[in-house]
Amino acid sequence: MKEVDTAATYLREHLPFAPDLALVLGSGLGGLAQEIEDAVVIPYREVPGFPISTAPGHAGQFVAGRLGGKNVLCMQGRFHYYEGHEMSAIALPVRVFKALGCTALVLTNAAGGVNWDFNVGDFMLITDHINFMGANPLRGANDDSIGPRFCDMTHVYAPELQEVALKVAAEQNLVLQKGVYLGYMGPSFETPAEIRAFRTLGADAVGMSTVPEAIAASHCGLPVLGLSLITNMAAGMAGKRLSGDEVIEIANQRGAVFQQLVRGIVEAM
C-alpha cells in the first residue's frame, strides 16, 4: 500500500532506531511521552499522508525513544472517526507500525464505565471489544500484502500480553479490572438508554476510539494490548451531566499511576 510505504520510509529516515513497540496514548494520557528518554519528536503534519489530530488533549505527534528498556514509537494523540477522518486514515498508523517492524501495539484510552462494579479512576484491561461504530477500517479493496480479506478476530487482544499486564499490575499492588470495550462513533456522549443496551450486550466500558486500531492491527498480524482508564461513569449512572473536561481532569489525576503501569508492562514485554 503506497500510503503505508511512503509514511514508513519517512519515519525510518527520521528515527534513530527501529522501534520494538508502538504505543497509542488516549485523551489526557499523553503525559507518558514525557517519560521517554532521548526523545525524538515528529509532528504528524510532517509525515506524508498523515491527517491532523484535532481532539482536545491530543498533542498530535510521534515521540520516539527509550521506555522501560525498549525502543518505542509513541503516538501522543490519535485520530478518531468522529473528527471526520476516514477509517483508512485511522488504520494508517497501525499499518506503519507493522511496516517499521514493531512486534506489539499498546492501545490506551479514556473510557466511560458501564459495569456497575467499576469506579472512576479504575484501570481496565481490554479482553475483547464490540464494534458499534457502524464502520470497519477493512472495508473496501483489500491489500493481500498487509493482511487477508477476512481476518480472524478471536484473539484481537493477545492473551499472552494480557497475562503480562495482570502480572505487572499485581506487582504494583494495582487493581486492574478486566472487561469488554464498546467502540461508539461519537462525538456526542451516549444516552442512558444506549448505556443500558450496551450493558445488556456485555460491554463493561464505552469509548470513541481503539476499536478501529485494534481491527487494523489484527488484520496485519500485530499483537495488541488494550488498557482503559475509567474517567467517568457512563450516562445515567452517576446522576449528572457528562463533560469532556471531566474526562481530561480524571486522566490527569491518575496519570502518574497509569504511567507507572504502562512503563512496567513495556519493561516486562
Q: Is 110 annotated as a binding residue?
A: yes
Whether residue 155 is annotated as binding a ligand: the answer is no
Distance CA 118, CA 111 (A): 11
Distance CA 203, CA 179 (A): 7
232 is in an annotated binding site: yes
Answer yes or no: is 209 a known binding residue. yes
The owner of cell 526523545 is 39
190 in a labelled binding site: yes
Is 218 annotated to bind a ligand? Reply is no
> Is residue 78 a known part of a binding site?
yes
CA distances from 118 to 48, 69, 88, 111, 112 (A): 41, 32, 33, 11, 10
- The answer to whether residues 75 and 217 touch, using CB atoms and an 8 Å cutoff, is no
- 200 vs 195: CA distance, rounded Å: 9
Distances (CA, A) of 165 to 25, 174, 204, 233: 16, 11, 18, 23
- What gap in Å lies between CA 108 and CA 23, rounded to an integer? 8
Is 27 labelled a binding residue?
Answer: yes
Residue 35 marked ligand-binding? no
Binding site residues, as ranges?
27, 58, 78-80, 110, 190, 209, 232
Binding site residues for a purine D-ribonucleoside, as ranges?
190, 232
Binding site residues for phosphate, as ranges?
27, 58, 78-80, 110, 209
